[in-house]
Structure 1
């Protein structure tokens, strides 16, 4: 598939203070491991973040692929309502921490990277959002784009790291 590279969608949102996000599983700008691929372990990466600014009432963690061949990218993961004292998640998440919301692939929870055959390398943006509300006004069937709206209007700070993935046979 030959097409232009979409911009990073977070570049078009209101500016926010940066939240430092780190991971032992994802290095910003490097390839994701087999564990984070849909064809591999399909496992969300371990993530940790610094405390949000004063007023942080909860966190949300998302994974977004802006390079999916759709007009609006694909949400691979939305975990909201993470308590304000939590500043990290192990690989695979922590059962009972936060509330899994519907991703664009029709399921709750993380779905690993899966660029379509013949497409270029995709970016998977793992973002942590410090929120000024203790719970988003959504339910588990709310479309991911609407959840994204609520994340934007309630965010006090945001940080992200980006992993890359290719489909087998796309070249190195």
Structure 2
């Protein structure tokens, strides 16, 4: 059975506009299918990411992965990494692993699958193409003001008021 749903909007188009900067990946080509390594059933490994050109005044970063096409009313959060120091401008593949050593005071917030780390793509079989937005948020303070028990929605709420800029790359996946 195939679920025919309208495509969800790019969620970042719905937020207040902020300057953009650049994010690249050895593992993700923007708008293209992601590698099996980033899929839950195969590798479940967070992708390598590198960024540059963040706005002046950036004091930390938050890295997220969000699927707006999940068959829910609120999408699906696959990864939330908070309080990366401002001098960190890249993450190696696998940095999102639960228990991974992270720089400075950085920590993971629980994803929608319940884990503290990256959860790879896992859309329902025979569903539409899903988009996975990997976003680096430049933050105007060293600490976002949440802890690991915060929900992704609370992180998003805080980011709405503390983000100086956003760098976005997205991959796709379909069973």
Q: TM-score range by the shorter chain?
A: over 0.9
By how many angstroms is 1:118 displaced?
A: 2.1
Q: Which runs of 5+ in 1 are unaligned?
A: 168-172
Structure 1: which 4+ aligned runs deviate by more than 3 Å?
none
Q: Give the match for residue 50 of structure 1.
A: 52
Q: Give the match for residue 131 of structure 1.
A: 139
By how many angstroms is 1:51 displaced?
A: 4.1
By how many angstroms is 1:153 displaced?
A: 1.1
Q: Give the match for residue 111 of structure 1.
A: 119
| SS state at 2:153 partner | helix
Alpha-carbon deviations, 1:139-170, whole Å to 9, x = none?
11111111111112110000110100011xxx
Q: Give the match for residue 6 of structure 2.
A: 4
By how many angstroms is 1:57 displaced?
A: 0.6
Q: Distance in 2 between matches of 1:109 and 1:48?
A: 18
Alpha-carbon deviations, 1:26-46, whole Å to 9, x = none?
000110000000001100000
| SS state at 1:6 partner | coil
8 Å contact kept, 2:110–2:116: yes
Of residues 26, 29, 33 in structure 1, which corresponds to 2:28?
Answer: 26
Q: Establish whether residue 166 from structure 1 lines up as the match of residue 174 from structure 2.
A: yes
| SS state at 2:82 partner | strand
By how many angstroms is 1:19 displaced?
A: 1.3
TM-score normalized by the length of structure 1: 0.94
| SS state at 1:17 partner | coil
Q: Establish whether residue 77 from structure 1 lines up as the match of residue 79 from structure 2.
A: yes
Structure 1 vs Structure 2 CA RMSD: 0.9
8 Å contact kept, 1:131–1:154: yes
Q: Distance in 1 between matches of 2:46 and 2:114?
A: 17
Q: Which runs of 5+ in 2 are unaligned?
A: none
Q: Distance in 2 between matches of 1:25 and 1:152?
A: 28
| SS state at 2:31 partner | coil
Q: Distance in 2 between matches of 1:86 and 1:51?
A: 12
| SS state at 1:150 partner | helix
By how many angstroms is 1:86 displaced?
A: 0.5
By how many angstroms is 1:133 displaced?
A: 1.1
8 Å contact kept, 2:126–2:174: no
